[in-house]
Amino acid sequence: MTSTLTISHLTKRFGGVHALSDVSLSVAPGERVALLGHNGAGKSTMMKIMLGLIAPDSGDITVCGAAPGDAEARMKVAYLPENVAFHPALTGLEQVSFYMRLRNVDPRGAHDLLARVGLADAATRRIGTFSKGMRQRVGLAQALIGHPRLLVLDEPTSGLDPVSRRDFYELLDGLAADGAAILLSSHALTEVEARTDRLLILSGGRMVAEGSLHELRSKAALPVSLHISAMNGHVSELMGAFPNAIRTDAGLNLTCTQDDKLATLARISDLRGMVADLEVIPPSLEDIYSHFSRRDGQ
């Protein structure tokens, strides 16, 4: 299957600063990919390059079989910028109708499109009166026009409440099921984890990690934490069995590597007469993210 988006060895400098260094990635049709990175990691720059808004210094980019910014690519790519803005004097309906006309889509569907993002009642109000979340929804609506093959979404859920976020990811699931490739950037790690197929971590303009959460977890090889609650009076005996553990009020905390996890669990289960309860805590998404994004001395 050919990729919808392919980037190889992309480099971009602003003045003397390396905004992006030798970045390569690809996104297949129907794939939902999350782009993670701290502020200034190069996420927005990379998105603007794949949209043809900024020219790269070097590297090859193919978007829907065309060069970024080509008329053909623009027909097939939808974009939602970070902090999307519209003319405040226009109504939601006028603004979306305009974007539909630019994509040669019948503007009579504008009302339905706004209804899809939950703006049916506000369609004829001026965007100047909208809240940030409502403006964001107008932004989402325009990104859905004309069955795009690639959606480039820069922090699409910022300003949305939890219910709207869930609705938004359901919209994305539908688009991906239709074969659209989706690349979105986000700071909200937990929601991205559950709703995307693959994570990319950008740090200081470099791609420092790529893969599913499971793959990143094993690549990071971060320790697993175990909380053991001891039966009354057995804490000291347990400490004897696990000398490296840290004693807490009613039990002990210990850590082990992923590879040792099962062996450690077996040892604990051998001591089941002394153990009241056991909690296994895998490294959190934040831990994994920090692990990768700090590797370059960030």
Q: Which is nearer to other proteins, 81 or 205 (CB)?
A: 81
Residues 123-162 that bind other proteins (CB under 8 A): 126, 139, 142
From the CB of 136, what's the least distance to other proteins, in Å? 13
Select 63 or 228, whichever has its Cβ closest to other proteins: 63
Strand (E) positions, 186-286?
198-203, 206-211, 224-230, 246-247, 251-256, 275-281
The 3-state DSSP composition of the chain as helix, strand, coil percent (nearest 5) reads: 35, 30, 35
Closest-CA residue to 191 (of 164, 166, 160, 155)? 166
The tokens for 133 are 């979340």
5 near other proteins (CB under 8 A): no
Residue from 180, 139, 152, 178 nearest 34 by CA? 152
Q: Among residues 67 and 276, whose Cβ is nearest to other proteins?
A: 67
CA distance 272 to 239: 14
Which of 12, 43, 74, 149: binder of other proteins (CB under 8 A)?
Answer: 74
249-278 binders of other proteins (CB under 8 A): none
Nearer to other proteins, 106 or 249 (CB): 106
Which one of residues 17, 53, 263, 281 is an interface residue with other proteins (CB under 8 A)?
Answer: 53
> Cβ neighbours of residue 273 under 8 Å, at least 6 residues apart?
231, 234
Site for other proteins in 224-253 (CB under 8 A): none
Alpha-carbon distances, residue 208 vs 22, 45, 200, 202, 230 (angstroms): 11, 16, 8, 6, 41
Pick the stretch among 78-86, 160-168, 219-227, 280-288 that binds other proteins (CB under 8 A). 78-86
Q: Does 102 bind other proteins (CB under 8 A)?
A: yes
- Pick the closer one to other proteins by CB: 68 or 251: 68
Q: Per CB under 8 A, does 103 bind other proteins?
A: yes
- Binding residues (CB under 8 A) for other proteins: these are 48, 51-54, 71, 74-75, 77-79, 81, 83-87, 89-90, 94-95, 98-99, 101-104, 126, 139, 142
